[in-house]
Chains A and B, each alone.
Chain A
């Protein structure tokens, strides 16, 4: 059993942060790796990236958006409650290297995944420019942590309620234009955001890493559910990734495959909401 020792609601309760007791994993985890969690015996195996770790206290931090049945179920877990299984660390760690100047772009919950990578890139001596965005000011997460992990930080909101009014790609274009010496871009967020960022960095000839989030089952390369096309080859995101070259990634295929279970997801979520009186504030 993996106990939750700290819990916070972010972005008006649409995003939850948990610090979970998992000493072995906390010791091992590196930026970019993920865990698979199960809440109870009947639960799905849900992959979530580790947003942070505290090896001394034996804790890992997960930050997730409530989007369906399983994440809504996770949201019901309070401090003192436990996950039944936490498996990891899984996936390849981010290849952190000193390239000089880098740009880190994060959208939505992707900022949580981006943060440890940003921090790692800065720690090894890169000059880090970060761009983070959300739909509106209340939905923006981890601004302070990202500021601390970056040399320069730009904030955008789709509705203009805070920072630059518009998408992260607008700011990315300006940053790439002004900084011809950027050697690496890391873009993590919703699929369309990663796709458009990658198209832009390609124009500028800047190598780009994205973090892919296909549906998974085992997370050990056994089932092939998480297959993605990268550079015309079939890759398993759970073992070969989750980070891949954004210029080689087939985002259309990923978008389609993420829709595999729309009807089933709706059935499960509706049933859950009916059973739980839908007291949450997820806005649906």
Chain B
């Protein structure tokens, strides 16, 4: 191979996609430390060289917030890491997060021209590098802030969409307060996505950055209970709702009450937000299952199954009703789960949980499926094979088949229009809801989606809120 390349000279030597060094699978499957260590400056500069600096970059079309991708990569190539982070910040307030969790293979990297013949440029890894370098070695650069406008904005929810709105509006001179129901800010980034994939220190440093800019963050404030949206409207000129899709969905099969059956939200909240993996040093417990089954095939399922391994599981299964090709999770997460020894049972659907007299889960009965005609989503619909029932012995089940709209806030807010699933109806271009002076965005509008889409919605809403506050519309 190398010989052949040489023969083709004088063409420049082709640089392969640079891998991030990472913890070996058999070590990391038992600890909660982050899996990849990230690029060194040398590796990052080498990877940056792979970008051919397209005039009309396709990757940029794949990025929901239109980061100037060749632009920031060029800075890295030249070793100007501060230049790179400034470029990223123009469009993305949370690059350390996005570099880690965006589904790059279907966004920027999926369109990268280098990817046509070779592996695409590792845009996500480079984004992550620039942000980490800034956080760990960079000098603190606070962006310029506009003169105070005297206008007050309340942001409900501190997930990626709320954080984006808060960051944008504070820079435009508005007085911003975030209200967060949980005792720590960050939304899914702190209570859902595990430490080994997104260290909480990164989220806290992003939130601290917002505080330095002047954003007030009030935790433990459940809007709808502690205070209603209408009450907020008495004290604030505008309100942004970024409350996420925090409603667990259960399988609705017999036996879901057995001890050991968790929603992914509960399992992950206990282990991440409450740090149950460090029990009894931390007070919140979590069952340490020996045989754990996670139901579903998205990022949440991968996170749950990998957390179960780290909690000491001997077997961690993912039970999914379609096949490998249909798994909706990020490619990197599926790959990492496989490497760590998560066992996949495809084309399998649970029909009931089994338990003992003390109420503890002992197993799950499943049906084998086969793929039939494509359904509305274009994916082939799984249909059960009659008589194919079989049982899997498990003591922990994690249900991770999606989440819905939590009605706590919406029910207590008259004047909001909701769709039939309970999500808030908002203008897709501005985030305006049917209620005057109230905007909404992120998962509570779109249903469970991605970090970058939630941030994109926040960006649009912040522009619209700013227009309203300064121009009255």
Contacts and interface: CB of A to CB of B under 8 A. Distances in A.
Interface string A15-39: 0000000001100100000000010
B220 interface: yes
Contact of A253 (B247, B257, B406): B257
B407 A229 contact: no
A257 interface: yes
A259 B358 contact: yes
A247 to B, nearest CB: 19
Contacts of A264: 279-280, 285, 287
A217 B257 contact: no
A259 B220 CA distance: 28
Contacts of A70: 283
A85 B275 CA distance: 17
A227 B257 contact: yes
Interface in A233-279: 234, 239, 253, 256-257, 259-261, 264-265, 267-268, 271
B377 interface: no
Contacts of A223: 248, 263, 265-266, 269
A43 B276 CA distance: 10
Nearest to B281: A42
A171 to B, nearest CB: 32
B102 interface: no
A268 B257 contact: no
Contacts of A217: 266, 269-270, 274, 284
B283 A268 contact: yes
Contacts of A90: 222, 225
Given A87-B220, A217-B266, A38 B408 contact: no
A224 B263 contact: yes
Q: How large is the interface on A (under 10, 10 to 19, 20 to 34, 35 or more residues)?
A: 35 or more
Contact of A221 (B182, B226, B247, B258): B247
A44 interface: yes
A147 interface: no
Nearest to A2: B220
A86 B183 CA distance: 9
Interface in B70-93: none
Contact of A257 (B182, B274, B359): B359
B226 A224 contact: no
A229 to B, nearest CB: 7
B283 to A, nearest CB: 4
A116 interface: no
A179 to B, nearest CB: 36
The CB with the most chain B CB atoms within 10 A, among A24, A229, A257, A264, is that of: A264
B431 interface: no
A222 B226 contact: no
A48 interface: no
Q: How large is the interface on B (under 10, 10 to 19, 20 to 34, 35 or more residues)?
A: 35 or more
A42 B275 contact: yes
A222 B283 contact: no
A221 B407 contact: yes
Nearest to A38: B183
A218 interface: yes
Nearest to B411: A239
B430 to A, nearest CB: 28
Given A45-B274, A218-B269, A225-B266, A87 B183 contact: yes
A106 interface: no
Nearest to A265: B285
Contacts of A86: 220
A268 B280 contact: yes
A224 B181 CA distance: 16
Interface string A115-138: 000000000000000000000000
B250 interface: yes
Interface in A21-74: 24-25, 28, 38, 42-45, 69-70, 73
Contacts, number: 113
Interface in B391-439: 406-408
Contacts of A108: none
A85 B183 contact: yes
A221 B408 contact: yes
B369 to A, nearest CB: 25
A219 B183 CA distance: 12
A3 to B, nearest CB: 15
Contacts of B220: 85-87
A224 B269 contact: no
Q: For B269, B280, B282, which residue has the most chain A Cβ atoms within 10 angstroms?
A: B280
A224 B248 contact: yes
Contacts of A43: 283
A190 B357 CA distance: 21
A44 B279 CA distance: 11
A260 B287 CA distance: 8
A109 to B, nearest CB: 20
A239 B412 CA distance: 12
A14 interface: no
A222 B257 contact: no
B226 A88 contact: yes
A259 B265 CA distance: 20
Q: Pick from B247, B275, B284, B287 the residue with the most CB of A within 10 Å.
A: B284
B470 to A, nearest CB: 31
Contacts of B183: 38, 45, 84-85, 87
Interface in B353-373: 358-359
Interface string B250-268: 1000001111001101100
A88 B226 CA distance: 6
Contacts of A69: 283
Contacts of B162: none
A85 B218 CA distance: 11
Contacts of A44: 274, 283-284
A38 B274 CA distance: 11
Given A88-B225, A260-B259, A218 B182 contact: yes
Nearest to B267: A223
A259 B274 contact: no
B265 A224 contact: yes
Interface of B: 181-183, 219-220, 222, 225-227, 246-248, 250, 256-259, 262-263, 265-266, 269-270, 274-275, 279-285, 287, 358-359, 406-408
Please provide the 10 A-B residue pairs with the shortest distance between their CB atoms, ordered closest to farther: A256-B359, A264-B285, A223-B266, A224-B248, A222-B246, A224-B263, A44-B283, A87-B220, A260-B259, A42-B282
26 contacts: A45-B274, A45-B284, A90-B222, A218-B181, A218-B182, A220-B222, A220-B225, A220-B406, A220-B408, A221-B408, A222-B246, A222-B247, A222-B406, A224-B248, A224-B263, A253-B257, A253-B359, A256-B257, A256-B259, A257-B257, A259-B359, A264-B279, A264-B285, A265-B285, A268-B279, A271-B280
Given A44-B283, A220-B408, 9 more contacts: A42-B281, A45-B284, A85-B183, A217-B270, A217-B284, A223-B263, A229-B257, A256-B359, A261-B287
